[in-house]
Amino acid sequence: MKLFTIGYGGRHKDELISMLRENYIQVVVDVRLRPGLHSIKKPFCLLCAEKNAVDCHRKLIADYLIETKGVSVVHLE
Q: Is the pLDDT of residue 14 over 80?
A: yes
Would you state the pLDDT for residue 36?
Answer: 62
* Cut 0.75: pTM above it: yes
* Cα distance between residue 66 and residue 21, in whole Å: 23
Widest pairwise Cα distance in the chain: 34
Would you state the pLDDT for residue 15?
Answer: 95
> 69 — alpha (psi -120 to 50), left (phi > 0) or beta?
alpha
Please report, for the chain, the start and end positions of each structural domain, with discontinuous segments joined by +: 2-76
18-76: pLDDT as tens digits: 999 999 998 888 888 766 666 667 788 999 999 999 999 889 989 998 999 899 999 99
Would you state the pLDDT for residue 6?
Answer: 95
